[in-house]
Structure 1
Amino acid sequence: MKFFSAILITCTLFSATAQASSSQAWNEQRQQMLKACLAASQFKDAHVRSKPAEFDDQVGMSALLIEGVYPQQHMQQRTGTELCLYDRRQHRAFVSEWSPEVK
């Protein structure tokens, strides 16, 4: 019985370590995404406007809304929104202007 108790305790410890590691890896991936999306943005004073939308691993993409100020002088400091698609496999970000309005 002591043998099985020892195995159970060992499995529990390894399970907790694996979950902590996975959580840390997930946070690091999210920080990479934020950094890449903000760097890819065309806006001045770019900042995150939404929680990430995580797509299935088969797709390998995450989506994030970025808000900031248009850098062009004729835009007269207006704010705008961009959609950032982040490729988790290649660690690359792609942005496009985003308008939540349906036209």
Structure 2
Amino acid sequence: QTRWESAHSSLLSTYRTNPIGYRSTPGFVYDFGALGLEGDPRKARFEALRDADLNLLKEFYEKEIKPKAKLLSIVGDSARIDLDKLSEFGPVQKVTAEDLFNR
């Protein structure tokens, strides 16, 4: 609960204290139009965030995040990792440095 309150308060503070800069206004207006929005969406987002609670976050997690597949990358010496135990969580694919940095 305390972590939620801290994060919630921080996000609200960000909305309150970070207005669109004078020189950035034309770009924001153009972007809103390009996205098909009827004006600045931040007001509605702020109001939704202000009314949000931990239960809303949990509902979002259960609906939007939990059902989807996750990708977990572990970087290190595979000789020091129990790959059989790790495979209990899902498929394990070993990738070499050459695979990652081959240009």
Q: What TM-score comes out, normalization by structure 2 length?
A: 0.22
Larger fraction in helix: 2
Q: Determine which structure has more spread, i.e. the larger CA radius of gyration.
A: 2
Larger fraction in strand: 1
